[in-house]
Each structure stands twice: as C-alpha cells, then as structure tokens.
Amino acid sequence: MDKPKIKSRSATLKDVNYSFVRMSGNRKIGYMPAGYSSFLTCWTGCVFGKHGACYAKGGHCMMHMWKVTIGVRGGTFEEYCDQISILPDNTVYRPMVGGDLPGIGGQIDKGQMLALIAANKNRRGEGSKIPIGYTHAPVLTSQTPFSRANAAIIKRANKEGFTVNLSADTVAQADKLVDRKIGPVVCVLPKGTMRKTLTPKGRSIVVCPAILAGKLGTITCTDCLMCARVDRPYLIGFPAHGMREKIADKIAKGELT
Ligand code: SF4
C-alpha cells in the first residue's frame, strides 16, 4: 500500500479523515471503543515522528492509519463525533489511538475541538463519557506560535470531561507540561524503568501497569483507567518498549530531540 502523499502544510480540514471502531481488540487497551485520526493531525515537530519511533507507525495500527489518512477507510469529523455522541453514558473509550486532536499539523482546530467536547457529554445524565486521550500537540510557548491557543483548548477539554493527557518526551519536559496546569501528564521513560520514579522537580511518576506486566494483554487500560483521571496527583510513565524501543529509549534520555 502506498504511503499517504498529502502533507499537512497543503491540507485543509476537509482532507482530515477519522475512524471509529465500536470495539477495539487492541492488546494494550483491551476491549473498548477506539478512535483514530489521520496522520495529518500530527504535529510535524513530534520527536517520535521525526525519528521514526511513532507507535502508530507499526503493525496493524499503521495499516489502518494509512488507510484512514488517504481516505479509503473511516469518514468525516462529523461522522466521528456522531459515533462518540451515541456511546452510552459513562462509556470508557480511547480516542486518538493513532493521530492527534482535531486540526492540522498539531494546530488544534478550536471549533472542531468544541464539537468533540460536546459529543463526549453524556446524553441522558450529567457528566460525560470517559475518554482516555493523549496528545503530542505543542503547548509550550517555546515550541510554536499556536502553542498558547492549543493549551487553552486542551485546558477546557480537561475541565469539561474530555481527558487529554499531555505527552512528554523526557522527564524534564514532563515538569514543564505539569507547570502549564492544563491537564494530566504522561512521559516516556528509559527502557527497563520498573519502579516508581521522580521528575527533576520531585513529582511522582507511576509506571504504566500494562507495560510493567510484561506480556501485553495481562493488564489492559480497561482494567486500570489511571490515564482517565484528570486530577491524579502523579504522572504516568511508559518505559521505552516495542519495535522502536531503542529509539524511544534515546528520546527518553534526551539523546534525540
Ligand atoms: S496507565 Fe493504565 S490507563 Fe494508562 S496506558 Fe497504562 S494501563 Fe492504560
């Protein structure tokens, strides 16, 4: 299959496709609904993308993501929101298994993000569904001119029930993300980190139990749900693992930027 040819710099929102799977059998997340956004949503400055260590660019996920990105699978953003809005109240699901928040090239589209926040609200009762979301979109002012706007909309999403974990490449960057006070933070850790550890500023990092368990599928996100907690008083760390373990390890150690 050909790689997607369209580049985010020449894309419009209409070029960005989404896919929603009613029941994912992903071995790490477990059985839950899952969403995928086109690679066009990804920030071009993402260190994992730059060095070929993106977890969505491996195995079945990559095949699905390419098809979504070139538009032969999935549908429009509006259809994606419809799929989320009809989920039963309080359903746990995993948006952005691959890809990022709605927008192009890491610049979050405020209108679409508000639509997603609205789709995530419960239909019958108060509150919202329970998404386990992550983003690599830039939110530090040193990263891009649109970081400030991204930070504002992510803060709102987290306040209104659409959980977005900010993904840090290193523990030092994790401290900077926590200092933004816009959402929970996760970070990559050097390969083999098996214990609770600390950021340079002394914040606790709990290692993801799915990775600690060793064999994928032993503990899943469905069992754990730590990443769904917006107000958790600790960070979650993911030791470098999988096919791109060596590159992820170098990223976590700050050797690749
Ligand atoms: S910490 Fe829990 S919810 Fe987060 S990725 Fe790991 S298993 Fe899933």
Domain ranges of the chain: 14-252
Contacts with 114 (C-beta within 8 Å, 6 or more apart), sequence order: 153
- Ligand 1 centroid distance, CA of 120 (Å): 20
Nearest CA to ligand 1 atom 7: 221
- Ligand 1 centroid distance, CA of 250 (Å): 22
Q: Which atom of ligand 1 is nearest to the CA of 220?
A: 7
DSSP 135: E
Query: What pLDDT does 9 receive?
Result: 78
Distance CA 37, CA 200 (A): 33
Percent helix, strand and coil across the chain, each to the nearest 5: 35, 20, 45
Distance CA 16, CA 105 (A): 10
Distance CA 16, CA 7 (A): 11
Closest to 83 measured CA to CA, from 162, 165, 133, 23: 23
Q: Which helix (H) or strand (E) holds 108?
A: strand 107-108
Contacts with 99 (C-beta within 8 Å, 6 or more apart), sequence order: 18, 36, 37, 38, 39, 40, 41, 42, 56, 65, 68
Query: Mean pLDDT for each consecutive 10-residue tract of the chain (257 residues)?
Result: 70 96 84 96 95 88 93 96 98 97 98 98 96 98 97 98 98 98 98 92 96 81 95 97 92 96
pTM above 0.85, yes or no: yes
Q: Is 208 in the pocket of ligand 1 (CB under 6 A)?
A: yes
Q: Is 227 in the pocket of ligand 1 (CB under 6 A)?
A: yes
